[in-house]
Amino acid sequence: MNGNRRADIKPGLRVRIVLKKDQATGRLTDQANQTNRVLAKLVPGFAEESGIAPSPEPQPTPVSEPVTGKVSIQPVEEMTVVYFKATRDDVMKGYQLAEESMKARGVNLDEHPFFGKLRSNPADMQKMVDEVLTAFNKAVEVRADLDRSTGSKVEVR
């Protein structure tokens, strides 16, 4: 899909950016193509009538010469996967960016149900920050444990 890009925010954290219109169009196109391929196999004459080229059966690739001799596999250099836990400052910077984005769209933050509550009640702000920190850092630990279970060397900072 054309809208897929990968960007490393911090080592160990990845964000996938997919434009919504590309995501929806790509998903619908994939579903339609899959349906057409199934119908082409099941309904005689469907492929010819709809102009769908029948998908060829996969053929084994012939090998011109057999592989002889000793094959050696080189070990991959050991690397460490590093995850970073979020800090209170990270969450507050994210909140400030969200506020700026909403202001730029002309939203009155004091009247907004989410931002208005957080701005008027410091206890609610503290609770939101604590919940985000807990959820994010738990996800980091779960992912780190998963990587460790596969034998990867992992560091959480």
Which amino acid belongs to residue 121? N
Residues 16/135/85/103 CA torsion (nearest 10 deg): 60
Of residues 72, 79, 63, the one with CA closest to residue 155: 79
pLDDT for position 126: 95
Residues 84/86/87/90 CA torsion (nearest 10 deg): 110
Sequence-ordered alpha helix ranges (H) in the chain = 20-42, 46-50, 88-104, 113-120, 122-149
pLDDT for position 143: 93
Q: Match 């169009």 to its residue by tokens.
A: 25
pTM of the complete model beyond 0.85: no
Q: 82, 155 in Cβ contact below 8 A? A: yes
Per-residue pLDDT averaged across 68-91, rounded?
A: 79
Dihedral sign for Cα 9, 11, 89, 87, please. positive
Tens-digit pLDDT profile for residues 23-59: 556 666 777 777 777 777 776 776 776 666 656 666 6
pLDDT for position 35: 76
d(Cα 95, Cα 129) in Å, to the nearest integer?
9
